[in-house]
Chains A and B, each alone.
Chain A
Amino acid sequence: MKKALLITLCIFNLGVFAKDAVPLADDLLTEQRLISISEEMRCLVCQNESLAGSRSDLANDLRREIRTLIKEGKSDDQIRNFMVERYGDFVLYRPPVKPITWLLWIGPFVILMIGIAGLFVYLRRRNSNVTNVTLSADDNKRLDALLENEKKEGKASS
């Protein structure tokens, strides 16, 4: 009896925790396009989230708007333009290449080039710092003697 009561309670409880489903487009294709477009966009409320992943109210509204645009037969570029016209390039995770973003796009490569150039200059300077000295015949003899000694001592100790 107790068990039956518990089970019925559990079943009825399910309804309490259920929430409204997130609105989805009727067809899968629209939804897939929505995701592929909105994954590349920034949610403006929680800026570290993509528009596809954000649960903020505005993101919901914007996804609804994009869904309508898809149904109206707009191309991906047209939809992207729709968003950029309203929120600026900031919504795009991949900013377009134009004069104002040149620094952003090529800046890292410029810094890399400066680094490589610096390394080059440093290496060349270091090489030229090593002075070549030609040994005289006397020096060579002394050197040979020293090496010879070293070898003998090495053998003796081992």
Chain B
Amino acid sequence: MKAKFLIPLVLFVVLVIFLAIGLNRDPHEVPSPLINKLAPSFDIPQLAEPNKTFSPASMQGQVWVLNVWASWCVACREEHPVLVELAKSQMAPIIGLDYKDKREEALAMLSRQGNPYVLSAFDADGRVGINYGVYGVPETYVIDKAGVIRFKHIGPITSDLLNQKIYPLLSELKKS
């Protein structure tokens, strides 16, 4: 008999738990369908040297990081020191994808804040970004030796993420 009175309470607690989980999830973190798929190919001019191009095919056999950034993006500025840290660790080469940016402004930002990128590809009209499913800059991809995307992060990467997720993943991928 007593158990009957507890039913509404239990239902209420379950509801609260569901709502709490829902509130703590970031709706902008959409699972990418590109994970474990081949990184889309492209061949576009580089940022610093517009007469040279970059294509992901040239990274075959290496574990590398693709970071989508832009000088107009505030979160990218916030993320920049972390990328410099990652570059210093020499765990993997970082390739930048300068997304819908102005060349002078992008170069100015790199000379002001330091350049963690081996090179940056210049995606003027955002087409490459669309092929990579980019919808919020910055975004970061870890791509393995076979050219498969193994990890994607939307939003600025933090030191914690670097230590807990990206470093272990990089060393694991480099071994294989």
Interface set of A (CB-CB < 8 Å, partner B): 44-45, 47, 57-58, 61-62, 65, 84-90
Contacts and interface: CB of A to CB of B under 8 A. Distances in A.
Interface residues of B, number: 18
Given A57-B100, A61-B126, A87 B30 contact: yes
Contact of A87 (B28, B100, B135): B135
Contacts of A88: 30-33, 133
A90 B31 CA distance: 8
B132 to A, nearest CB: 7
A45 B135 contact: yes
Contacts of A87: 30, 33, 133, 135
Interface in B113-133: 125-127, 129-133
The DSSP consensus for interface residues of chain A is helix
A61 B31 contact: no
Interface string B28-40: 1011111000000
Contacts of B155: none
Contacts of A58: 126, 135
B22 interface: no
Contact of A62 (B34, B100, B130, B136): B130
A88 B30 CA distance: 8
Contacts of B129: 61
B8 interface: no
Given A62-B130, A88-B32, 11 more contacts: A44-B135, A45-B136, A57-B126, A58-B135, A61-B125, A61-B130, A84-B33, A86-B130, A86-B132, A88-B33, A90-B30
Nearest to B33: A88
A48 to B, nearest CB: 10
Interface string B124-162: 011101111101100000000000000000000000000
A84 B34 CA distance: 10
Nearest to A59: B135
Contacts of B135: 44-45, 58, 87
B17 to A, nearest CB: 17
